[in-house]
Structure 1
Amino acid sequence: MSRIVYVNGEYLPEEDAKISVFDRGFLFADGVYEVTSVLNGKLVDFDGHAKRLQRSLDELDMPNPVTFEELLEINRELIARNGLEEGGVYLQITRGAADRDFAYPANPKPTIVLFTLVMNISGSPKAETGLKVISIEDQRWGRRDIKTVQLLYPSMGKMMAKAAGADDAWMVEEGVVTEGTSNNAYIVTRDGKIVTRQLSNAILHGITRAAVLRMAEEAQMVVEERPFTIEEAQNAAEAFITSATTFVTPVVEIDGATLGDGAPGPIAKRLREIYMDEARAKAI
């Protein structure tokens, strides 16, 4: 049976879904997106993703074609129509179709697309083995806090990592780590502090990041928000990443240097357990 997707107010089989060749998302990457995880057929951190979506749209002076309630209903309807138990819902909003011009159209009619993704999130093998990452220069534009569809360089970074026999890349700017290609980056110092870069325009304001840092503090763990170098990361006791589709996933190797004994560390493992317990309990 074909996957059912949502395009501009219609639920359609994926092979029947179409948008204009003049869509500004296609021509200019003039659009934003969100991915909301699904566990047991329910949405994880939906409120946070909806709020960040609105922030991204506001930063780009782009209208939102749906209300919070409408968006929640669309997500739930797609999950039901596709029988999704675990995975995610991808959402993309662009400024819509207009003749190709760098200047925005005066009264845009946004394009909105949603579709479901089947993924093994809770039982990901990488949560057990840990990730290997490499470092690369961060060559993205400066407004990484806006979750735009401009993902070419992160895609290139993923391919650089793959070519090097690694799983992902951490991007470095002015000597310090910004974030992973599609995730926020963390280290755990030898005295047990969780270190991650502070929020700014340089990194995405991760929804999972916010939840995990709150949970860490509730669990009496020490959190320090500041930049760190690759060298500091290589000498750390642990490292991990967070994102909507990886939750908390340990990192066991950075640029060929093994962290600790090469196995996922206790803090990353505990944070993943806490996050998954709360995600299951509070999903809507």
Structure 2
Amino acid sequence: MNTVYVNGEYVPQSDARVSVYDRGFLMADGVYEVTSVLDGKLVDFDGHVKRLWRSLSELDMAAPVTEDELLEIHRRLVELNNIEEGGVYLQVTRGAAPERDFAFPNPDEVPSTLVLFTFAKNLVGSPAADKGIKVISIEDIRWGRRDIKTVQLLYPSMGKMLAKKAGADDAWMVEDGFVTEGTSNNAYIVKGNKIITRGLSNDILHGITRAAVLRFAQEAQMEVEERNFTIEEAQQADEAFITSATTFVQPVVAIDEAQIGDGVPGKVARRLREIYIEESRKAAI
């Protein structure tokens, strides 16, 4: 049975408890991060912590521990649960006020809730990376602060289910005619040697894997263009792919049943995946 971390204690997952008054449960008043684990080490930990601090700051939410303490908790959970490949999920909420109220509780009186748990997952040898995934397009009707990694994930979950019902693997969301991102990932197309992805703004999550992959692409002399693109442009691209902490770089081979390129993972996505895994293993802590 896995060990999880709840508010300063390491407990069996069956004994893990938070209050029914916790605002993460009642209001989705919380943020989260997922850090991948390769070879028992943490990938891009510094980037995930920096984004966590930003999310907390944007929501005026108190950080429950320091960065050093957070690193120690991650490492201990990985060790306790013998995770060689997989990830660590972290969630911070505004805590459990004595009563349900829309107004934020006083942080001096109501401490934040901090929960972490691990999961094992085959990240490197992913079958989906070998064959590619199919996506559908759906309207993006989420709130306007998608740059904050909140636990408000109902619509992305609905998007995943719409994709499943359509015989696809995921959905790309579209707003004002342009792709924003996938349900739990950033979206890209490739034309020639040029990688095209939407620029950073409040409209999309500032992906940690995205930042690393774009940096590696530029170091490999690949051209990167950050701009909006449409589903129609994506369908006519040479390649398409997604990035996230637990998929790394994953090729997309069809969008709304239209085949992308040759209908198989392209050379740019495959090469970027190789580079990302290689460099992540070197830099993991």
Q: Smaller-chain TM-score range?
A: over 0.9
Size of the alignment, in residue pairs? 282
Q: Which amino acid aligns with 1:100?
A: R
| CA displacement 1:107-153 (0-9 Å, x = unmatched) | 23100000001111000001100010000000110000000000000
Measured after TM superposition, the shift of residue 42 of structure 1 is 0.3
How is 1:1-284 mapped onto 2 (pairs within 5 angstroms)?
2-98=1-97, 99-107=99-107, 108-189=110-191, 191-284=192-285
| CA displacement 1:49-104 (0-9 Å, x = unmatched) | 00000000000000001100000000000000000100000000000001110000
TM-score (norm 2): 0.98
Q: In structure 2, how many angstroms separate the alpha carbons of the residues matched to 1:25 and 1:50?
A: 19
Q: Which moved more, 1:125-134 or 1:104-113?
A: 104-113
SS at match of 1:224: strand
| CA displacement 1:4-23 (0-9 Å, x = unmatched) | 00000000000000000000
Measured after TM superposition, the shift of residue 218 of structure 1 is 0.4
SS at match of 1:136: strand
Structure 2: unaligned runs, 5 residues or longer: none
Structure 1 runs of 4+ off > 3 angstroms? none
Q: Which amino acid aligns with 1:197?
A: R
Q: In structure 2, how many angstroms separate the alpha carbons of the residues matched to 1:236 and 1:282?
A: 32
Measured after TM superposition, the shift of residue 106 of structure 1 is 1.6
CA RMSD in angstroms comes to 0.5
Q: In structure 1, how many angstroms separate the alpha carbons of the residues matched to 2:215 and 2:261?
A: 26
SS at match of 2:52: helix
SS at match of 2:4: strand
Q: Which amino acid aligns with 1:85?
A: E
Q: Which amino acid aligns with 1:80?
A: E
Q: Which amino acid aligns with 1:29?
A: A
Q: In structure 2, how many angstroms separate the alpha carbons of the residues matched to 1:117 and 1:172?
A: 31
SS at match of 1:232: helix
Q: Which amino acid aligns with 1:182?
A: S
Q: In structure 2, how many angstroms separate the alpha carbons of the residues matched to 1:122 and 1:197?
A: 26
Measured after TM superposition, the shift of residue 192 of structure 1 is 2.0
| CA displacement 1:226-250 (0-9 Å, x = unmatched) | 0000000000000000000000000
SS at match of 2:68: helix
Q: In structure 2, how many angstroms separate the alpha carbons of the residues matched to 1:214 and 1:86?
A: 24
Q: Which amino acid aligns with 1:22?
A: Y
Measured after TM superposition, the shift of residue 193 of structure 1 is 0.8
| CA displacement 1:156-193 (0-9 Å, x = unmatched) | 0000000000000000000000000000000001x321
Q: In structure 2, how many angstroms separate the alpha carbons of the residues matched to 1:11 and 1:259?
A: 47
